[in-house]
Structure 1
């Protein structure tokens, strides 16, 4: 693989300074880039004159990083994106550029959140793979001379910034990445406020002094601002206290967020969507080929049309309790990972059942979830229209034994530690 390189700048009107490795405004919580998709899509197709002003304002917000991808994503016209694509969403625990709210210690330059989104060629399904931050993988040497050896994946950002993490994930999964992005701690706060909060379910009270999360009662809680950030960061408060448990808890949040973003209450509210898009673009860093508004809108329109039950959110197959270089870290489960990525490369949808929910006890199905809408399922007693041409449903979903995760349609609850 050719070496990936990067630099960052403000778009438009960057200062032209080449910066390597550490990005000034990089950080975590990838999760919420889904907000950008629906927000920008509706903002830019809601009216020509308003959209022109909105587009200029949003474009001027975005900070970019140039990455020489091996495979570039095409710059489509609005609404014309064809085929599949892969997006890497990365976050760092850096405090740089975040103000004093997270402490004066600048912190490390680690990619603590890594999510790879794959959309199938027929655009009927998608899978979001969460890669545990402590999973030991081969790291490429990257631009700044990182070691070509086994280290936790969250060290790749410190050796060569977003480009190094892109190369690491490409090598790990065998999937070419066309687009990449990061989002800040402040971005989580701003966007959770803009969307009006995200409702999450918990099985018992959760108290995590490490992140400041305090949810004193079981049941549903609407989280925004600091509480949303604390929930997404909480490891000690959920599941078995490991990063694998936290991933399941993050999927609880993300599935609820996706359902809210795709709801009519959000998609038909121009002011809410524009507020979400403003909050997002002010707090993200995107690869420059991803930062074009027409590209964002085209991708948004694809994501908007994928049914919730066809969006799988899975954990990279892995486990704790290993020895040697895996002692105290996370070890990949190679056979299950191979099955997962073989299915993704073949564009076979990933099927998940009730047994898939809850890696390391981080979540469980919500017993009080709303009943399915009967209007969403065909009436078995109805007489089919002989003149109707059934839509191609695409390939059947594949169940992979041992794979953990959930769909965006499944209502789940975080399990307290």
Structure 2
């Protein structure tokens, strides 16, 4: 049951003591603000249960968790034109940082470097009832444009480099500029999730339930699952979205298919657990979520994130189309892929005009052979 459908909590909206000053009960707040305040009210209730100091403390605590980067300032005016048709494009990155606690979770070398281990363009269609999610393989060879990071350092352009080198070279701003260069589409927002935050968020949600149709055993990602139904812990979920040697052909394309199946399961789980009816859980999840993400500056506050999340909650897994950017195997290197330009143009044109991605866009493209290994339950 959502916060809006529950009876009154008995807790006044933050900053009020009954009727609003200068307005009677018949002057409602705008809908977006009502949603944000209801969420804050429940979060405040959670803090009271935990012995906290109330809504003001909650707001500043959660606000202080959020990290943001000013993408617009760093990239300037030389970007694709913003399309004002009611749709939104969000670049979601999973960061493969090897330093600190992330190094223990990620495997590999703890060299302190950062990589974009996962990259997805989420296109939310007008009306916010459905979405298309386009995964970009990290091993795709692309021409990376020159970019200036948030510290003002200019990074020169490079040819035939892996897609995920954009993030390791210039951080979020370089990743966004590279995606816009490859697609010709402006990214309205940017969200980044790291290893440690992802693990804790899944644990705070109580795990995510999936069904595996085959055994998965990958010591590199610390994952060992027998075929069947599982409620994954945060560590297991992280292993699932990172494994590439335990399923399919061992490619990054196979891993993407697992990530897409997990995203659907995660969305389904979040809708089922009744966070808004449990103030203590709401606060725990909100605290973990705000510590987990780095956003563009336009989403860099609790109120902005709440409004953003409310705009997406009407999208069910059944109305999420998951695809991979059309690619073909590199004939000179089996560990790399190249953009299948003709098919990729069909994808970008569809998103630009807020239309469904045509099935023909996947014709003749490379696949990772892990389809159906993991399903949402």
TM-score, length-scaled by structure 2: 0.76
Task: Determine if the alignment matches structure 1 residue 110 to structure 2 residue 118.
Answer: no
User: Are the equivalent residues in 1 in contact too, given 2:347–2:358 (CA < 8 A)?
Assistant: no
- Equivalent residue number for residue 54 of structure 1: 58
Report the Cα offset of residue 291 of structure 1. 1.0
SS at 2:129 equivalent: coil
- Equivalent residue number for residue 64 of structure 1: 68
Decide which moves more: 153-162 or 62-71: 62-71
Where structure 1 has 5 or more consecutive residues not aligned to the other structure, the ranges are 1-38, 73-81, 367-410
Q: C-alpha deviations, 1:12-49, integer Å up to 9, x for none?
A: xxxxxxxxxxxxxxxxxxxxxxxxxxx98973364788
Which structure 2 residues correspond to residues 117-156 of structure 1 after superposition, within 5 A?
117-143=122-148, 144-156=154-166
* Cα distance, 1:47–1:142 mapped onto 2, change above 3 Å: closer
Q: Distance in 2 between matches of 1:220 and 1:248?
A: 18
Structure holding more helix per residue:
2
Which structure 2 residues correspond to residues 18-417 of structure 1 after superposition, within 5 A?
43-44=39-40, 46=42, 51-67=55-71, 68=73, 69-70=75-76, 83-98=86-101, 101-102=104-105, 105-143=110-148, 144-215=154-225, 217-263=226-272, 265-320=274-329, 322-324=330-332, 327-350=334-357, 359-364=367-372, 411=375
Q: C-alpha deviations, 1:142-192, integer Å up to 9, x for none?
A: 224233312110101122111000000011111111221222110111011
* Cα distance, 1:100–1:248 mapped onto 2, change above 3 Å: closer
Q: Distance in 2 between matches of 1:93 and 1:306?
A: 28
User: Are the equivalent residues in 2 in contact too, given 1:140–1:148 (CA < 8 A)?
Assistant: yes
Give me the CA root mean square deviation: 3.1
* Cα distance, 1:100–1:136 mapped onto 2, change above 3 Å: closer
* Cα distance, 1:158–1:184 mapped onto 2, change above 3 Å: same
SS at 1:182 equivalent: strand
Report the Cα offset of residue 330 of structure 1. 1.2
- Equivalent residue number for residue 27 of structure 1: none
SS at 2:306 equivalent: helix
Report the Cα offset of residue 287 of structure 1. 1.9
Where structure 2 has 5 or more consecutive residues not aligned to the other structure, the ranges are 1-34, 46-53, 79-84, 149-153
Q: C-alpha deviations, 1:52-89, integer Å up to 9, x for none?
A: 443222101112222225579xxxxxxxxx93222111
* Cα distance, 1:332–1:185 mapped onto 2, change above 3 Å: same
* Cα distance, 1:272–1:313 mapped onto 2, change above 3 Å: farther
* Cα distance, 1:332–1:41 mapped onto 2, change above 3 Å: farther
Q: Distance in 1 between matches of 2:200 and 2:63?
A: 18
Equivalent residue pairs, number: 318
Q: Distance in 1 between matches of 2:272 and 2:202?
A: 16
User: Are the equivalent residues in 1 in contact too, given 2:43–2:280 (CA < 8 A)?
Assistant: no
- Equivalent residue number for residue 372 of structure 1: none
TM-score, length-scaled by structure 1: 0.69
Q: Distance in 2 between matches of 1:272 and 1:351?
A: 40
